[in-house]
Structure 1
Amino acid sequence: MIRVPFLDGKQVAVMGLGRSGTATARALLDSGAAVLAWDDSEAARAAAAEAGIPIADLMSADLSKVALMVWSPGIPHTHPEPHPVAERARAAGIELVCDVELLARARPGNRFVAVTGTNGKSTTTTLLAHVLAAGGLEVAAGGNLGTAALDLPELGEGGIYVLELSSYQLELVRSPTLAAAVLLNVTPDHLGRHGGLEGYVAAKRRLFDFLGPNGKAVIGIDDQHCTTIAQELLARGLDLAEISVEHYDAHVAAPDGTLRDEGREICDLAQLPQLPGRHNWQNACAVHAMASALGLAPETIVAGLATYPGLAHRQELVAEINGVRYVNDSKATNADAAEKALVCYENVHWIAGGQAKEGGIAALAPLFPRIARAYLIGEAAEQFAATLDGKVPFTVCHELVTALSAAHNRAAPGEVVLLSPACASWDQFRSFEHRGDTFRQLVRGLA
């Protein structure tokens, strides 16, 4: 847990009692702060109260002595409509920040590096932390991914916090000083929360405002939004490394799977099965650029890349049974995400379905020749069957256990059983993690 001694004796409001809000309230109480905590969910309030967190309705509580309000990034505070508590806090002149801001203020003796982008943040964050740790550095990773910022351990002087930051969090930080920062890519997402595409891009661009005097900016240049931002960063005179899996002339590039730094070949990423596909090559390029900026030698970085175990539910190789690979890509909750997995394999026994997103799987038609057979589950089974009819053999299985059993019985050595649903999970599971955990457990029962 991170202590925040600069708030000892101060009154601090916490809005939102999910993972980060609960961790924040605990850290504040442990640091001697007086906490006023609230969540619009009665269940969340009850759980927090049971954990000893003081509950106060921030719409009616006296805020005159509140020094700071720690805001859960998932709650709208500007667009599409600001939460009434945010309006009340601003009217009272109370600063809204997220937990990452408290971490930065509490640990001035540590180094911070940050990762953002529409896609690839979590893999890049965990991969960078793994490479740095393998290189002998003291590291902790969290933020938007996994461990909440104030639940991270207190590192020694010079230890490195690797933080995944969402666009929501970037709106609520004020003062971190970053040793390195990477923006992987930008595609339209969360537009309602940012007042449109321009606001979303601005939130991502804001990451580079926090670079320290000798900080390293790293940016993917494979989409127009990031290319424009890169030009702006160069005009500002920042120390910039461009990364690409499309252009050989980027500082760090891997269009053909060979990672190159200023044209010098570093390693063959295609030989790393835990980092399949061009999207993961972009992640590896980012990690190489960031780790190099933090002082690691190329051979140390390559050794770390080679030992990365992968991230759960993102093309996670669960097992290989009788020559058949079983891959858990439960995080693929839309067609765009499933495309990144399907393009990596041939002769795929594809388990797909769940709660469909707009557009379904029609956009995946160019990849249909890679699919040996589809096994359809959940609410989207009939819809997906209509899309695949006459193009891909399929079986409507409804349940994951039935789909896996059918795929297991049909798959031949050298083929892949891939759970990449292209759907949300909520029709049959609590979350994509629950869906992936269930798949993993079922596969291990086959061995």
Structure 2
Amino acid sequence: MIPVTSFAGKTVAVFGLGGSGLASCHALKAGGAEVIAGDDGAERLAEAAKAGFVTADLRTVNWSRFAALILTPGAPLTHPAPHWSVLAARSAGVEVIGDIELFCRERKRHAPDAPFVAITGTNGKSTTTALIAHLMRVAGYDTQMGGNIGTAILSLEPPRKGRVHVIEMSSYQIDLTPSLDPTVGILINVSEDHIDRHGTLEHYAAVKERLVAGVQSQGTAIIGVDDIWCRAAADRIEQAGKRVVRVSVKNPLPDGLFVDHETIWRASGGARSEIARIGGIGSLRGLHNAQNAACASACALALGVPGEVLQKGLRSFPGLAHRMEQV
């Protein structure tokens, strides 16, 4: 668990008591905060009360006592309308954030140099996250994997030097993480999805872009440039002075990583060099998995993983259950 010390001595509301919400309650309490937990479901309220937390109907409480609202990603922040708890918090001047924001603040306070990889994209997030975590473990890193892939981020071990956190993030989670600052940020692709929660494709793409726009000044933004949204994002982030690695599985690039004949190549200054071969790897079949593998490889290289270790890791990747799984 990662104790959240940034709210020590303060009272915090937590709405949504699923896996990440309950983990947030435990982490906040461990860091010295008073937690008031709320949920629309009686069973989850009972579970939180059984775990020792004060529960309440947050519709009836005095919101001026709260330092923050920790909101479940499942509750809308903007579209089609803000959740009632968001409106209540905003009317009282209370900030609305998520559990990954709590992680970012703890990392900044205690271990700002600890490697933090954040991954998003319309498709391929989970496979790319699992592959990066696998590659880092093969390379000998103490690796913590979580976020949207299943394990609540605050249930992981705390950030520290030599320990890398590999975190999958949905657009909903990005929305709730205003100080998102990964060492390596990855935007795999953008296509139409979740418009019911973001209103327009433009807004959805802008939220996704925030993950890579927030990379630390000495960090790396890795962006798949096979769609118009990501190509534009890569240009904007590079113009802002960040290091950008472009990735393509459709066309050779003059600079960046691309896939050609089941081989990942790195291009720089008109020359290209072979990074790894992905032909014959059952868990990485298909063009979509070539994109995932190329993005993961770019991340491993950015974190200093040697080429031979990278190739070994790609070949030993077991894949995820029900994803291109042979039966």
Q: Could you say which TM-score interval applies, normalised by the shorter chain?
A: over 0.9
Show the counterpart of 1:293. Answer: 302
The equivalent position to 1:309 in structure 2, one of 304, 311, 318, is 318
Shift of residue 207, structure 1, vs aligned partner: 0.9
Show the counterpart of 2:266. Answer: 261
State the secondary structure of the residue aligned to 2:284: coil
State the secondary structure of the residue aligned to 2:68: strand
Task: Map Cα deviations across residues 263-295 of structure 1 (whole Å, 9 max, x no partner).
Answer: 212232122112111111101100111111111
2:193 paired with 1:189: yes
Show the counterpart of 2:99. Answer: 99
Show the counterpart of 1:336. Answer: none
2:57 paired with 1:57: yes
2:70–2:99 Cα contact (<8 Å) kept: yes
Shift of residue 88, structure 1, vs aligned partner: 0.8
Show the counterpart of 1:400. Answer: none
Residue identity in the other structure for 1:145? I
In structure 2, what is the Cα distance between the partners aligned to 1:216 and 1:224? 20
Residue identity in the other structure for 2:152? A
State the secondary structure of the residue aligned to 1:85: helix
Shift of residue 155, structure 1, vs aligned partner: 4.4
In structure 2, what is the Cα distance between the partners aligned to 1:137 and 1:294? 10
- Of all paired residues, the percent bearing the same amino acid is 42
In structure 1, what is the Cα distance between the partners aligned to 2:38 and 2:322? 32
2:278 paired with 1:274: no
In structure 2, what is the Cα distance between the partners aligned to 1:75 and 1:183? 23
Show the counterpart of 1:330. Answer: none
Show the counterpart of 1:354. Answer: none
The equivalent position to 2:165 in structure 1, one of 145, 161, 170, is 161
2:64–2:94 Cα contact (<8 Å) kept: no
Show the counterpart of 1:121. Answer: 125
Residue identity in the other structure for 2:218? N
Show the counterpart of 1:88. Answer: 88
Between structure 1 and structure 2, the one with the greater Rg is 1
Q: How does 1:297-376 map to 2 (within 5 A)?
A: 297-317=306-326, 326=327
1:138–1:155 Cα contact (<8 Å) kept: no
Aligned residue pair count: 318
The more displaced of 71-80 and 40-49 is 40-49
In structure 2, what is the Cα distance between the partners aligned to 1:163 and 1:177? 12
Shift of residue 179, structure 1, vs aligned partner: 1.0
Show the counterpart of 2:202. Answer: 198
1:13–1:69 Cα contact (<8 Å) kept: yes
The equivalent position to 2:227 in structure 1, one of 217, 223, 226, is 223
Show the counterpart of 1:3. Answer: 3
Show the counterpart of 1:71. Answer: 71
Task: Map Cα deviations across residues 65-123 of structure 1 (whole Å, 9 max, x no partner).
Answer: 21111111110121101111110101111111100011111123122111000000011
Task: Map Cα deviations across residues 172-213 of structure 1 (whole Å, 9 max, x no partner).
Answer: 112232111110000010011112111101100111232111
Shift of residue 305, structure 1, vs aligned partner: 1.0
State the Cα RMSD in Å.
1.4
Residue identity in the other structure for 1:221? V
Show the counterpart of 1:36. Answer: 36
In structure 2, what is the Cα distance between the partners aligned to 1:137 and 1:34? 35
Structure 1 segments of 4+ aligned residues over 6 angstroms from their partners: none
Task: Map Cα deviations across residues 345-402 of structure 1 (whole Å, 9 max, x no partner).
Answer: xxxxxxxxxxxxxxxxxxxxxxxxxxxxxxxxxxxxxxxxxxxxxxxxxxxxxxxxxx
State the secondary structure of the residue aligned to 1:233: helix
Shift of residue 32, structure 1, vs aligned partner: 2.3
Task: Map Cα deviations across residues 207-239 of structure 1 (whole Å, 9 max, x no partner).
Answer: 123211111111001111111212222322321
In structure 2, what is the Cα distance between the partners aligned to 1:94 and 1:313? 42
In structure 1, what is the Cα distance between the partners aligned to 2:7 and 2:220? 31
State the secondary structure of the residue aligned to 2:67: strand
Q: Structure 1 stretches of 5 or more lacking a match?
A: 318-325, 327-447
2:217–2:242 Cα contact (<8 Å) kept: no
In structure 2, what is the Cα distance between the partners aligned to 1:266 and 1:208? 23
The more displaced of 24-33 and 113-122 is 24-33
1:244–1:255 Cα contact (<8 Å) kept: no
The more displaced of 23-32 and 165-174 is 23-32
State the secondary structure of the residue aligned to 1:176: coil
2:104–2:179 Cα contact (<8 Å) kept: yes
Q: Structure 2 stretches of 5 or more lacking a match?
A: none
Residue identity in the other structure for 1:148? A
Shift of residue 29, structure 1, vs aligned partner: 1.9
In structure 1, what is the Cα distance between the partners aligned to 2:277 and 2:115? 30
Higher relative contact order (CA 8 A, sep 6+): 2
